[in-house]
Amino acid sequence: MMRLMGRKPPGGIDCHAVGKLLQQYLDGHVDGDQAQRIAAHLEDCRRCGMEAETYERIKTSLADRRHEVPAESIERLRDFAARLVRGEEPHQP
């Protein structure tokens, strides 16, 4: 059953912890048990799953424009990651 925002499931990881590790996880820098717990959380938690999808789209878009990444785009990506770490809701542009 998918949660909108919920408590940490038994043996799982909570939204705040996922936010702190999401960028590293999506970049392939989290190993083992922790990566499995993050993956399970992303499948179960709609909010965090959507955050992960958004981050991946931003990352792909920036990679496609690698030669011309505007400073404003980089700053927005950093702001997005900082909001995730703080556990805040993303704001719409």
d(C-alpha 31, C-alpha 14), whole Å: 17
* pTM greater than 0.75: no
b/e burial code for range 5-44 (CB count within 10 A of at least 16 → b)? ebeeeeebbbbebbbbbbbebbeeebeeeeeebbeebbee
| Per-position pLDDT tens, the chain of length 93 | 444 444 555 567 888 899 889 989 998 999 999 999 999 999 999 889 998 998 888 888 877 766 666 788 778 888 888 887 787 776 655
What is the residue extent of each domain of the chain?
A: 15-86
- What's the Cα-to-Cα distance from 48 to each of 1, 18, 44, 73, rounded to whole Å? 14, 8, 9, 22
